[in-house]
Amino acid sequence: MKPKLLIAILILAYCVIPATAQTLRSPDGKFELNFKLSAAGEPTYNLSYKKRPVLNDSKMAFAIKDQPSFASHFTLVDSKTGTHDETWKPAWGEVSSIRDHYNELAVTLQQVSDKPGSSDSRKMTRRLVIRFRLFDDGLGFRYEFPVQDELKYFQLNEERTEFSLTGDHKAFWIPGCYDSQEFAYNTTKLSEIHAMKGKYVDLEADKKVFADNAVQTPLMLKSDDGLYINIHEAALTNYPAIYMMVDRDDFGLTTHLAPNAVGSAAFLQTPAKTPWRTVIVSDNAADILASKMILNLNEPTKIANTSWIKPQKFVGVWWEMHIGTGSWNYSDTNNVKIDEVDWKTLKPNGKHAATTANVKRYIDFAAANGIDGVLVEGWNVGWEDWYGNWKENVFDFVTPYPDFDVRELQRYAAAKKVKLIMHHETSASAANYERRIDEAFRFMKANGYDSVKTGYVGRIIPRGESHDGQTMVNHYSFVAETAAKYRIMIDSHESVRLTGLSRTYPNWLAAEAARGNEYNAWSVGNPPEHETILPFTRLMGGPMDYTPGIFEIKLNVYDPAKKEVVHTTLAKQLALYVTLYSPLQMAADLPQNYEKRMDAFQFIRDVAVDWDDTWIAEAEPGDYLTIARKAKGRLNWFIGAITDENSRVSTVPLDFLPADEKYAVTIYADAKDADWDKNPMAYTIESYIADSKTVLKLALAKGGGAAVSIRPATRTDLFRLKPYAP
């Protein structure tokens, strides 16, 4: 649906301000931004919140290939301020309408320098616009390079935007890596990151960790005196992702750009603009999660009619491969070069999961339980040769294995009113995918698919590029745009982390781009605090396909030798459907595991994936999180409460419910003796009558959680259920 302007854009006061020092305040007056040129003509800004400094004087500079320094000797040639107040409706989201309200300051700077290589001291003049937007939840700013003679087509070697923090804050961070965000979070002081220079090593194949003192964004910080600060970027297009270097002695951060294959970072042609640099600040952690600033800094949708874009739940031929009981491969042959053998001659390995019969089993389960879709991985030839070879043409995205009957499954799924979701693992060969994408999308549409999960496991082709560089950033947008032409929805794995682009491309429903639940299947896993940090980090940029809903927590049930465990209780897996926002939620476990616990699965059946409103009831990064959400267009509410490795009692007043109405409240909780490590699958389910005066007390086990489903009470409920009493 086309976003509707509820309040027209107001450009109140555009006026020229000649002074060199500029002050901008947020609409509510809590934030103050000061911009000035230093004595050396360096662009410099600082930021305060409720009169408390957030960022001390911070400089802004660029290194442009084969050009003089673009850091100082600027003069201010123009300055404009404005204000904007608009309310828009996202195609889907945590809330059904979003207010975009900010005050703006745009400064035009000019620098005159000696022209390199000219013997007669000729001068060159270059201009830069810095646009600041101050919202009630924080600051966004970007750089614009207007059309000009000395900057027409150029390469950026680096952007050096400083964020001069005021102290040795606590940071929730993952190390700098151009190819992956799939790390567990570290929680340390900034000084500890600083002291780590050259020491942090977490090299896994395919992950070029350059760690040193670099960390990724969204970076979540907390000051000793209780200020929460989130630093990220919005609208990352045609530019590399940023990292934060923690290499200054005074706790200042400086941006660093993902490099490209030719030793610079970005190729730009004027007019050009960078993504927005974002600083969201509050003295209340819940406000950080409630901020919609990153979405607001993105361009409105490019898709005129969004009615075909549907938030959805899905199951999939997926977890069985991750736990090792099934395979993506059709055959057991190792080191097969798919382009050198006739794959039809390969012998089936007996474990291939994407068979017609197995997929029908998932379709039956989805149909019986109101689940919209079924993802199928390992359906197409190439998996014998997909990993580690850095090969260009492994997958063609249109050739199924012989035991996967595309036509029959199309017929079967349609008859059961279930949508199949295609999987396009590209093995990071973006070049191959771009060449084949139209054929691949036409194949999808011809066979009844309108959603695709893409994947970029491995080293990027074009070789020398990385997952987070400009070339790949452009690739992900190209895929989203091309998919939109075919009315296809996207869930991207191993793509760059999100920056709010779903406002522009609402068919890009979710991404992984962080360490998902899959790590619990085959690695040391995700520590119990992991899901309390993700909303403050990765999810600040947009929805994550975390793949929650694992009920069989100890994986040695499949194989006594298997040591891996999911580091949560079962009840916490339910709570994640509310606390880890995504319009695309997988019920990731096997149908047979759900069938054993249909009472708990009822929550997954019921929970919504699109929302009218969201209340962050309690939040502390790394510790706990409680969120209540109202289902879009319905009178149902859902609550998720999670904790880290410590047990706790979550207190949730239901004062968001309309007064004087009675509700049936079903609580899926950890049993008294539950514990993620010792007794993860012990849960209780109880139903009560409640109203807006009720205050729920939810006891969360170590590594535990609670999920609550709320709906208007029927007469039978009023007769059958007791009033809630903690």
Catalytic residues: 518
Nearest alpha carbon to residue 233 among 618, 519, 498, 609: 498
Tokens standing for 248?
């200054």
- Dihedral class, residue 351 (left if φ above 0, else alpha if ψ from -120 to 50, else beta): alpha
Amino acid sitting at position 140? G
Q: Between 56 and 451, name the residue whose CB sits nearer to ligand NOJ.
A: 451
Tokens standing for 80?
């404009």
CA 306 to each of CA 200, 297, 438, 508, 511: distance values in angstroms, whole numbers, following the listed order: 45, 20, 21, 12, 19
Q: Which helix (H) or strand (E) holds 154?
A: strand 153-165
Neighbours of 416 (CB within 10 A): 14
Selected from 137, 206, 425, 468, the binder of ligand NOJ by CB under 6 A is 425
Cα 111 from Cα 644, distance rounded (Å): 51
**Minimum gap (Å) between residue 138 Cβ and Ca ion:** 30
Binding mask 347-376 for Ca ion (x = CB under 5 A): ------------------------------
Selected from 233, 384, 491, 512, the binder of ligand NOJ by CB under 6 A is 512
Q: Is-contact 490 501, C-beta < 8 A?
A: no
Selected from 493, 503, 530, 702, the binder of ligand NOJ by CB under 6 A is 493
Q: Give every CB contact of residue 10 below 8 A, 6+ residues apart in sequence.
A: 83, 84, 85
**Minimum gap (Å) between residue 394 Cβ and ligand NOJ:** 12
Q: Between 168 and 332, name the residue whose CB sits nearer to ligand NOJ.
A: 332
336 binds ligand NOJ (CB under 6 A): no
Q: Between 145 and 404, name the residue whose CB sits nearer to ligand NOJ.
A: 404
Note the helical H segments in 116-227.
190-194
- Helices and strands per DSSP (H, E), number in the chain: 14, 34
Selected from 17, 63, 336, 457, the binder of ligand NOJ by CB under 6 A is 457
455 binds ligand NOJ (CB under 6 A): yes
Cα 393 from Cα 414, distance rounded (Å): 32
Neighbours of 58 (CB within 10 A): 19
Number of shown-chain residues binding ligand NOJ (CB under 6 A) = 8
Write the DSSP assignment of 52-85 as a string of letters.
Answer: EEEEEEEEEEEEETTS--BSS-EEEEEEEEEEEE
> Any idea how long the chain is?
726
Amino acid sitting at position 288? I
| Peptide bond preceding 271 in cis form (omega within 30 of 0) | yes
The 3-class secondary structure across 350-398, one letter per residue, is CCECCCHHHHHHHHHHHHHCCCCEEEECCCECCHHHCCCCCCCCCCCCC
Binding mask 260-299 for ligand NOJ (x = CB under 6 A): ----------------------------------------
**Minimum gap (Å) between residue 497 Cβ and ligand NOJ:** 14
| CB-neighbour burial class of residue 114 (10 A; exposed 0-12, middle 13-18, buried 19+) | exposed
CA 367 to each of CA 374, 420, 519: distance values in angstroms, whole numbers, following the listed order: 10, 12, 28
Q: Between 495 and 650, name the residue whose CB sits nearer to ligand NOJ.
A: 495
**Minimum gap (Å) between residue 383 Cβ and ligand NOJ:** 9
Cα 145 from Cα 42, distance rounded (Å): 17
The DSSP 8-state label assigned to residue 90 in this structure reads -
**Minimum gap (Å) between residue 494 Cβ and Ca ion:** 5
Tokens standing for 407?
């036509």
Note the helical H segments in 283-336.
285-290, 293-296, 319-322
Report what 137 binds from ligand NOJ, Ca ion, none; CB cut-off 5-8 Å by kind.
none
Report what 150 binds from ligand NOJ, Ca ion, none; CB cut-off 5-8 Å by kind.
none
Q: Is-contact 703 572, C-beta < 8 A?
A: yes
Q: Give every CB contact of residue 340 below 8 A, 6+ residues apart in sequence.
A: none
**Minimum gap (Å) between residue 702 Cβ and ligand NOJ:** 27
Report what 377 binds from Ca ion, ligand NOJ, none; CB cut-off 5-8 Å by kind.
ligand NOJ
Cα 41 from Cα 112, distance rounded (Å): 11
**Among residue numbers 438 through 467, which ones bind Ca ion (CB under 5 A)?**
none
> Three-class SS of residue 224?
coil
458 binds ligand NOJ (CB under 6 A): no
Binding mask 465-494 for Ca ion (x = CB under 5 A): ----------------------------x-
**Minimum gap (Å) between residue 373 Cβ and Ca ion:** 19
86 binds ligand NOJ (CB under 6 A): no
Q: Between 270 and 593, name the residue whose CB sits nearer to ligand NOJ.
A: 593
Q: Between 372 and 425, name the residue whose CB sits nearer to ligand NOJ.
A: 425
Q: Between 134 and 371, name the residue whose CB sits nearer to ligand NOJ.
A: 371
**Among residue numbers 493 through 532, which ones bind Ca ion (CB under 5 A)?**
493, 512
Query: Strand 98-114 and strand 74-88: pairing?
Result: antiparallel
Selected from 377, 468, 491, 564, the binder of ligand NOJ by CB under 6 A is 377
101 binds ligand NOJ (CB under 6 A): no
**Minimum gap (Å) between residue 395 Cβ and ligand NOJ:** 10
Q: Between 282 and 537, name the residue whose CB sits nearer to Ca ion.
A: 537
Q: Between 385 and 512, name the residue whose CB sits nearer to Ca ion.
A: 512
**Among residue numbers 583 through 612, which ones bind ligand NOJ (CB under 6 A)?**
none
**Minimum gap (Å) between residue 353 Cβ and Ca ion:** 18
**Minimum gap (Å) between residue 373 Cβ and ligand NOJ:** 15
207 binds ligand NOJ (CB under 6 A): no
Nearest alpha carbon to residue 276 among 319, 314, 232: 232
320 binds ligand NOJ (CB under 6 A): no
384 binds ligand NOJ (CB under 6 A): no
**Among residue numbers 513 through 542, which ones bind ligand NOJ (CB under 6 A)?**
518
Q: Between 93 and 455, name the residue whose CB sits nearer to ligand NOJ.
A: 455
Nearest alpha carbon to residue 244 among 164, 327, 316: 164
Cα 250 from Cα 257, distance rounded (Å): 21
Amino acid sitting at position 237? T
**Minimum gap (Å) between residue 645 Cβ and ligand NOJ:** 25
Q: Between 278 and 454, name the residue whose CB sits nearer to ligand NOJ.
A: 454
Report what 425 binds from Ca ion, ligand NOJ, none; CB cut-off 5-8 Å by kind.
ligand NOJ
Cα 630 from Cα 652, distance rounded (Å): 15
Report what 179 binds from Ca ion, ligand NOJ, none; CB cut-off 5-8 Å by kind.
none
What residues make contact with Ca ion under the rule CB under 5 A?
Answer: 493, 512
What residues make contact with ligand NOJ under the rule CB under 6 A?
Answer: 318, 377, 425, 455, 457, 493, 512, 518
